[in-house]
Structure 1
Amino acid sequence: MLSHIQAKLLIVDDLPENLLALDALVKGEDRDVYQAQSADQALSLLLEHEFALAILDVQMPGMNGFELAELMRGTEKTKNIPIVFVSAAGREMNYAFKGYESGAVDFLHKPLDNQAVKSKVAVFVDLFRQRKALGQQLEAIERSRAEQEQLLTQLQAARAELEHAVRMRDDFMSIVSHELRTPLNGLILETQLRKLHLARDNADAFALDKMRAMVDRDERQINSLIRLIEDMLDVSRIRTGKLSIRPSQFDLTRLVGGLIENFAAQAAAAQSTIELKIDAPLLGVWDEFRIEQVLANLLTNALRYGAKQPVTVRAYQQQQWACIEVSDQGIGISEENQQRIFQQFERVDSNQGCAGLGLGLYISEQIVLAHGGRIEVRSAEGQGATFTLRLPLA
């Protein structure tokens, strides 16, 4: 299990013949032996490699083995390397005590006992391997723990997203059922009323002027249904990347002017007016149908939330942008809500009793982004709102 861990041994002696003798004793297939003839050479090797054991000769010219050991113990990279001293001096010089004091784990006297040297080196090599294996296991455990934490975080995020998606689905179904019920109820009531008139042979109920009013009411309800269905289809197209953009050249100011004329009845119903300010024609290549869809949504919102105050529409060029500003003087939008109104199923204030799926601004922004443009909003609570549509002229 530990055989794959290669151990490095350092032997330091100023005499080449001693190095050769030690090398022959400690070498093996699972070991790399490095030789140094001075403390300076040894320090260079110690800083470059990770050693399982250092065998140091005590008596060397310059820096002796004890001084080298003290340097090793004072260096972070080498302080834990086991040190074995070798000396030819007699036991009466008390070198062993000084060696242990310098941080040695063993002290060998020359002439060396070959079998004892091999046995002791094998012990230190095994200890090194076990320590390395344990370190690798701890690293693997730490990696596993980090991966598990990351996985747990991802699972928690996925759970939060799923819960959010479920809430959005429930909210969506609730909104859709409510919004679809309104025009459907109108059509059902109209149908029941006509059936009642027919059952009573009440021909006066189908006079020409009353028939026109009936058709107008039916058309409004049917258009509401179509608008709701188209919004849902557009969301599906956006999600699947299939929102179609068919660009052609047209004058944006002409489109705005025609749209405001069409909104005259809606503005009157909202007890408001729409004022148009045009600096100059704005010719560009965009999808006329989709841009009209965006502007219609901005005008609808301005009238819906405009508190019966006049709405101003301004068309102008700013550098390479064609800009349309739609401003109202209504309830305004808080800074917090400005961050979310372009999300799906978000409405400025559900307490206003305003209809809609909360998809208009989301769809509008996606359409504008598909043109390389953007929608910006400036507002404050109680101070109205200004939405600016920016489309690239080039």
Structure 2
Amino acid sequence: MTTSYAGSAGEQPAPSGFAVSERTARLRAETALFMRDHVLSLVSHDLRGPLNAIHSWAYVLERKLDANDANAQRAVTGIRNGVDQQVKLLETIVDATRAETKSLALACAPFPLHPLIDETVEEVRSGLARARGVEVKVDSQLATEQLNGDRERLAGALWVMLTFAVEASAQGATAALATRADATNWHATVTYDTNATALNDPSLPHVLEAFARKQAREPREAKRIAWVLALCKRVAEAHGGSFEQSDATESAAATLALKVPLSAAAAR
């Protein structure tokens, strides 16, 4: 089953004839869900520091002010109450909203890695890469290795990595997946040459949200990832692994690196 892609609000429709499968549409929706919760997590974290500082300085001011100055005391009390209200909003709205992915349960079972690679790569090729004229190349050193983890979640993480690489690639470019397993971990690394125009050109077919692609072009703080890659990070960490994003340099392409233990840790 295929689904016509109409694009996001404010974005021109994709070229006629471009459609995505039901699975691609579901993965796109999950990517957006994890991105939303990742943004809420950043908001919750980044606002608490300034709010705590304001609250602390309010107490300092209170001790400096004349205790008999009713207006000044009301002002300080108003500052503290305002901070408390903002913290409560973070707890009751922001933190509650992201609870769905904050604790990610895994349906772990042993499965062979090689078929997962083949299926996911083909999904990306048929879902976007062929329409964009981008080649997805695979360098697999896997044989019969198995991983004890959540197959669907890991497939979703790999799909996001490859799809983002295709979105960020110009026509005729190559997004390369290198995958291997050592004694304890499965490694999957995607490399690509970032093309900012291709990432946001409304005349091209797109799968990922326009807002997500736009944000991915903005400078990132150290060790923070583009919001659209939140699913990759969350799934990797739930398995006891890691996910990293490295920007392109003069001597190397951009990379997305996933590492997951062959025997998954308990969900957390």
What SS class does the counterpart of residue 129 from structure 2 fall into? Answer: helix
Partner residue, 1:384: 253
Shift of 1:348: 2.6
Q: 1:181 Cα shift? A: 2.1
SS at match of 2:177: strand
Q: What amino acid is aligned across from residue 275 of structure 1 in structure 2?
A: K
C-alpha distance in structure 2 between counterparts of 1:366 and 1:301, whole Å = 16
> Match for residue 284 of structure 1?
147
User: Is 1:256 aligned to 2:117, yes or no?
Assistant: yes
**Other-structure match for 1:181:** 9
Residue 319, structure 1, aligned to residue 180, structure 2 = no
Instruction: Find out whether 1:307 has 2:175 as its counterpart.
Output: no
Q: CA separation of 1:220/1:322 partners in 2, compared to 1, >3 Å: closer, same or farther?
A: closer
**5+ residue gaps, structure 1:** 1-178, 187-209, 333-344, 352-357
Q: Give the 3-state SS of the residue equivalent to 1:372 in structure 2.
A: coil
Q: Which residue does the alignment assign to 1:269?
A: 131
Aligned length, in residue pairs: 173
The 2-side partners of 1:392 and 1:224 are apart by 23
Partner of 1:127: none
User: What's the RMSD between the two structures over aligned residues?
Assistant: 3.9
Contact 1:180 1:228 in 2 (8 A): no
Aligned partner of residue 102 in structure 2, secondary structure: coil
Deviation at 1:303, TM superposition (A): 0.6
Q: Give a deviation string over 1:209-268, Cα, whole Å, max 9, x none.
A: x9xx69x58979976984566446765455763423211111122111111112223111
Task: Give the secondary structure class of the aligned counterpart of 1:245.
Answer: coil
**TM-score for both structures, normalised by structure 2:** 0.52
User: After TM superposition, which residue ranges in structure 1, 4 or more long, deviate above 3 angstroms?
Assistant: 216-242
Which is richer in helix?
1
**1:390–1:310 Cα change, 3 Å:** same
Rate the CA distance shift 1:233–1:304 in 2: closer, same or farther, 3 A.
closer
Equivalent position of 1:329 in the other structure: 193
Q: What's the counterpart of residue 97 of structure 1?
A: none
User: 2:67 matched to which residue of 1?
Assistant: none
**Partner secondary structure for residue 118 of structure 2:** helix
Determine the structure 2 residue equivalent to 1:363.
231
In structure 2, the residue corresponding to 1:330 is in which secondary structure?
coil
Which 5+ residue runs of structure 2 have no aligned equivalent? 1-6, 39-96, 197-211, 220-225, 264-268
Q: Percent identity?
A: 20
Change (3 A) 1:327 1:221: closer
**Higher Rg of the two aligned structures:** 1
Whole-Å separation in 1 of the counterparts to 2:28 and 2:247? 31
Q: Which has the higher contact order (CA 8 A, sep 6+)?
A: 2
**For the residues of structure 2 that align with 1:219 and 1:254, how far apart are their CA atoms?**
20
